Structure 1
Amino acid sequence: MSAQKGRKPRVHEEEHENHERWAVSYADMMTVLVGLFIVLYAMSQVDQTKFEALRGSLAAGFGNASPTVLTGAAGLMDSAGTVPDTGLPSGPETNQIAPAAAVDPAVDPADVPATDAGADGEVQAVAQARDELTRLLAMQAQIEANLAAVGMAGQVRYVIDARGLVIGLVANDFYFDEGSAALKPAATTVIDAAGPVLAAITDQISIEGHTNATPISGRYATNWELSSDRATQVLRRLVENNAVPGDRIAAVGYGSSRPLVDSGADALTANRRVDLVIHSPLPEPVRELLPSMVTGTGK
């Protein structure tokens, strides 16, 4: 009993909690940030001498005695290493159709006068427009040659505007009966003559139906439905019988909202038409030069 009374009871002390543990993580984060800023600063400074040495070493390693892609300018690359912008759209090259020898096109691109352009961009646009005019006239000549081969020469109207080449089917009761969208034999003959040319190119094509202002009655509620149906029938003939890809052709009906002739006896005939529009893929500033080039020849 006396021995037990002489022992002191054990006291369990609580572990001391470190309230400054956050400082270690904070210091690690600051160290990482300082290292990051040092790396960014080093990357922003280009040592011209070392860069030239690296460029020469890489060129020698790849067997290029006179490297031109990398330059020792402020950046890593300049215009010498980029693909020159020709202004032409990307994608497959547009097919070049040789004009038919039997048909003289309405315009000879060689007769188109060159425009005195002060800037290189304007000179390039004029050159591109002249080349595009040659291509569109070649299409026109080929289509007309195909029409002549089936005895239908001179039965369509050609216009080159800022959109491209417009092939107009204009004739009263020649392609469609009045108030009908069914293709008459003359219409199928003309469409099948133009079909191989349209199938061979890569341009976008729109089929635009138009009517005169005479109110419609019968199957169609308005001229809008009639013009849309006529355009659709032409589209189907091109796609189903002439292998024109459906992903680059569309049909639209304008009713009587876009007349060629505002009034007079010719309005009833001229405004009742279907236009096949071959849309030029060139930029709009280049396409806008086409009409002036056609009219500027004096032909």
Structure 2
Amino acid sequence: MSKRRKKHHHEEHVDESWLIPYADLLTLLLALFIVLFSMSSVDAKKFQAMAEVFNQEFTSGTGIFEFPSPIPEEGATAPDEQTNDSEEIEQSQSGEKMTEEQKQKLAQQAEQVELQAIQAKVNEYVSSKGLQDKLETKLTDEGLLLTIRDNVLFESGSDAVRTQDLQIVKEISELLVMDPARSIIISGHTDNVPIKNAQFSSNWELSVMRAINFMKILLENKSLDPSWFSAKGFGEFKPIAPNDDTAGKARNRRVEILILPRTAD
């Protein structure tokens, strides 16, 4: 009986050498996608740092990471240059603003000098007529204020300017002729003694009508433009002295002429 030769089956081993370059390829692809994702919002400094890290890891061959960070497109401005430009614009705007403020300040100073000249003219008139105890002037933040006591113009409880005082009102109107013209506010004021008669039901009404009637006489001067004028009545609500005695009440009963600066128009 013949011996059968035993057959030995040798399994062939699959060549796995391709796995190494395949793994390297996958690693490179992964790195590439990470880089592409990060480039969607490029930060130049972070991009450069990432490129240096990958260059250290992948030293074989020449890759995109060996090149410097992206160069700004033609006409684009680097971040540092943009910052400097912004600072220059802000400084330029600040300089223009300062210039406007300086111009406005100079205009206000010039207007103050003009109002002082008008005040001197009115004071000269008051002195020449001996009316120091009845008329007074004062420069305020609002303008030049001329105060006329009611005992110069009106009888108690009346809104009609007394006949003997009409000449004073006409002379005051001449003082208000100015070039250039300014807006003028006429305001009436009373003390706190209640009034109620057939003509007026309150001090407020009396003060309004005194201001209006006084303004009408001023505007008989054809050199004055009515569009410059306005009238107000404050009743007893804007006192300049306590209403505790006769002297205080007399001070509160008044008509005021406020000459506004031209810069306030």
Range class of TM-score, shorter chain: 0.5 to 0.7
2:147 touches 2:256 (CA, 8 Å); kept in 1? yes
Cα separation, 2, equivalents of 1:283 and 1:199: 18
Q: 1:142-161 CA distances to partner (integer Å, 9 max, x unpaired)?
A: 12223344443553121222
Which amino acid in 2 is paired with 1:277? L
Q: 1:147-177 CA distances to partner (integer Å, 9 max, x unpaired)?
A: 3444435531212222211111125x33211
State yes or no: 1:128 paired with 2:96: no
Gaps in structure 1 of 5+ consecutive residues: 1-84, 86-118, 285-299
Q: 1:102-156 CA distances to partner (integer Å, 9 max, x unpaired)?
A: xxxxxxxxxxxxxxxxx54554444333222211111111122233444435531
State yes or no: 1:203 paired with 2:182: yes
Structure 1's 199 and 210: CA in aligned 2 closer, same or farther, altered over 3 A? same
> By percentage of residues, which structure has more helix?
2
Gaps in structure 2 of 5+ consecutive residues: 1-95
1:147 touches 1:153 (CA, 8 Å); kept in 2? yes
| Structure 2 residue corresponding to 1:163, chosen from 130, 142, 150 | 142
Q: Describe the SS at the equivalent of 2:263.
A: coil
Q: Describe the SS at the equivalent of 1:174.
A: helix
| Structure 2 residue corresponding to 1:272, chosen from 253, 256, 260 | 253
Cα separation, 1, equivalents of 2:190 and 2:115: 26
Residue aligning to 1:192? 170
Cα separation, 2, equivalents of 1:148 and 1:225: 33
Structure 1's 185 and 137: CA in aligned 2 closer, same or farther, altered over 3 A? farther
The percentage of aligned residue pairs carrying the same residue is 24
| Structure 2 residue corresponding to 1:179, chosen from 148, 157, 160 | 157
State yes or no: 1:281 paired with 2:259: no
Structure 1's 144 and 186: CA in aligned 2 closer, same or farther, altered over 3 A? farther
Which amino acid in 1 is paired with 2:155? D
Within 5 Å, which residues of 2 pair with 1:63-212? 119-153=98-132, 155-171=134-150, 173-185=151-163, 187-201=165-179, 202-212=181-191
2:126 touches 2:135 (CA, 8 Å); kept in 1? no
Q: Describe the SS at the equivalent of 1:200.
A: coil
Structure showing greater radius of gyration is 2
Cα separation, 1, equivalents of 2:164 and 2:239: 23
